[in-house]
Amino acid sequence: MARQDALRSKGRTSLVLGMIGLPVAAIVALAVLAKTGEEPATGTPGAVAPGPSAAESAITAMAITMIVLEIVLLAGPAFVVDARRRRRDLALVAASGGAERHLRAVVLATGVLLGGIAAVAGALLGTLAAAVAMPIVEAVQDEPLGPFRMPWAQVAVTMLFGLGSGALAALLPARQAARMDVVAALAGRRDPPGRARRGWPIAGGLLVLAGVAASLLGVRVLNEFGAAFGAAAIIAGLVAACPWIVGTAGRLAPRLPLPLRLAVRDGARNRARTAPAVAAIMAAVAGITALAIGGASDLRQEQIEYQARLPAGSTMIRAPQTGADAAEQAIRRDLPGVPVLSLKTLPGPGGYCTGDGAACPALSFVAREDPEVMTDLLDHLVGGPREARMLLGRDDPAVTSALDAGKVVLFGGSPTAGGTTAATVFEWDDAVQRTTRRIEGLPAVAASGDPHVRAIVPPKVAERIGMPIRTEAFGVDRADHRVTKAEQARLERTMRAFGDDIEDEVYVERGFTRTFGGVMALLAAVAGVLALGGALIATSLAAADSRPDLATFAAVGARPGTRRLLTMGQAAFVAGLGCWLGIAGGVVPGLAAARPLTNQPGQPGVAGHGTILDVPWTLLIGLGVVIPLVTAVGVGTFTRGRLPMTRRALS
């Protein structure tokens, strides 16, 4: 009976298969890509690849739990629709001697059948998607993932989740089918709505309060996990209270226009089919809201703490440790006609060292240094006004005159009272700094700004110090040329040919360019798809229930568009209530998650700033206003406007 009904109702079957199969496909695809990109085990006998951390396992478990909850809440009403449509067939089974367990088995068989098919199809689709996505991922990250590997255990567990989700989604409709009034079903009468359980709203309210407390207080102990557990409790509480919330929202019906009034009253009267769809949309939107607030706040912190390493538009290319001359020639070929500066340095405390520590002398200037200045590009640059202009982004007359006069220009410090500094040459011997010599009386001046170098040393002073000078990088001044993204990609390919694994080997200062727009668009799209799916299910069940009402509308002369307006009102009610509940449920965990994410500076040398909050109002307005309107229009597009006519038999 389950197989025949699935073949007979192809539209509803496809919808359920998509709801269960697509999440399974997504999880399998991500698992395959993660397994393929794992670091292989070492050659040591018995060595295995490192497994996921406890945090990653907890996050994965929570994500899978939320996905299963979404499947059950969305697919459950679809099975209710199916069981409601098959009431007469099930009543005939009962009239022919079938017991309650037979009716439950018929409906559960549908869930198991569709869940199993969706699990197998989702696993195959996810594997195929991972195989197709591998070249794209490799091109984006510009490194091979490794041989294609299947995480068979994870795939099997995911398929079991899909199968179990189908069975869980069909469990409540199976119980309702077993308890139906057989005589009323054979006569074509509708069952009266069930009694509301008064304990569920109270339990839901307590869970919501516990979730708010866990979100606000748990982050102090568990950091982001406190907000995650609080969000789970809030969502569970709102799911439990959804039937009561739907019924309470029905009291607004008298103040609404006629189509919305009918839709809200119908949803409030039939909470058993409206509440699961509202809860599914609410759970998804709550998670999206919390994630969006936390992510936007984290991005805002990165923007506040961003420190430009070069003047905007300038470029620095790290020289390889061997073959600097060949690298310079290759760079000039990639940038024909562009002046390329060879940036030479004296070894500093953080300089590169080949060989043992005793053979690596380093240099430091004796000056009153500012500990807040961080050097992350070069140590002691050997050069003149041209190199200074490239690092400062401007012509500084004081720096230019000092370099022309043969003076050391110090950044982040100041010379001694006589306008001189001393150069100390030292070596490391068993982690102990040992001074080898000291050069006194070097003329020096202090300069403002932070070009991320310790000092600029004129070539004549560098010769007097007598230390080896090394070509550490190549620079392109923004006044000469601004490197494009295509040129940057070409330079990166050229430098990788020299075999050095250097982070940011080609660095072009473009300022803070990361945005949250793509992520917000993706989150809004996910919320829109879930809202549309939930609204379609709710309106399909409403259409199955309200055929006598629609026939009455037709009998009293209602226009053909009345059915479409009523359906659009039902979709707007379900999607709007679910989205607004989700926003309300996700705001507190999102704000709480922002505290551990942004409380401490993420970059060294950045002053403390406290918690940073950034609420993406555009996304929230889109979730609360745009998505319900788009959902209503989309559902109205798929709804036929013709009102049904029902044959009435004389009693």
Shared domain check, 319 and 381: yes
Range of the domain at 173: 1-40+52-192
Shared domain check, 258 and 171: no
Q: What is the pLDDT of residue 577?
A: 92
Q: What is the pLDDT of residue 413?
A: 74
Q: What is the pLDDT of residue 385?
A: 92
Shared domain check, 453 and 525: no
Is 174 within the bounds of a domain? yes
Q: Which of 162, 192, 222 is the last residue of a domain?
A: 192
Report the C-alpha gap between 373 and 271 in whole angstroms: 63
Shared domain check, 92 and 31: yes
Report the C-alpha gap between 71 and 19 in whole angstroms: 6
Shared domain check, 207 and 157: no
Report the C-alpha gap between 331 and 474 in whole angstroms: 9
Structure tokens at 360: 């690596």
First-to-final CA distance of the chain: 32
Name the residue among 622, 590, 63, 523 with its Cα closest to residue 298. Answer: 590
Shared domain check, 226 and 293: yes
Is 47 within the bounds of a domain? no
Q: Is the pTM higher than 0.85?
A: no
Mean pLDDT by 10 residues, the chain (651 residues): 76 77 83 73 46 52 64 73 74 80 84 90 90 79 73 87 85 80 67 63 90 84 76 87 89 82 83 81 86 86 85 91 87 92 83 54 68 64 91 90 91 78 80 80 86 88 87 91 91 82 76 80 78 75 66 70 80 90 90 84 71 88 90 79 52 43
Shared domain check, 633 and 536: yes
Shared domain check, 121 and 64: yes
Shared domain check, 519 and 453: no
Is 45 within the bounds of a domain? no
Is 27 within the bounds of a domain? yes
Report the C-alpha gap between 185 and 172 in whole angstroms: 18
Q: Which of 170, 192, 214 is the last residue of a domain?
A: 192
Provide the number of structural domains found in the chain.
3
Name the residue among 237, 227, 167 with its Cα closest to residue 206. Answer: 237
Contact 603, 308 (CB under 8 A): no
Q: What is the pLDDT of residue 57?
A: 55
Structure tokens at 625: 């206003």
Shared domain check, 433 and 500: yes
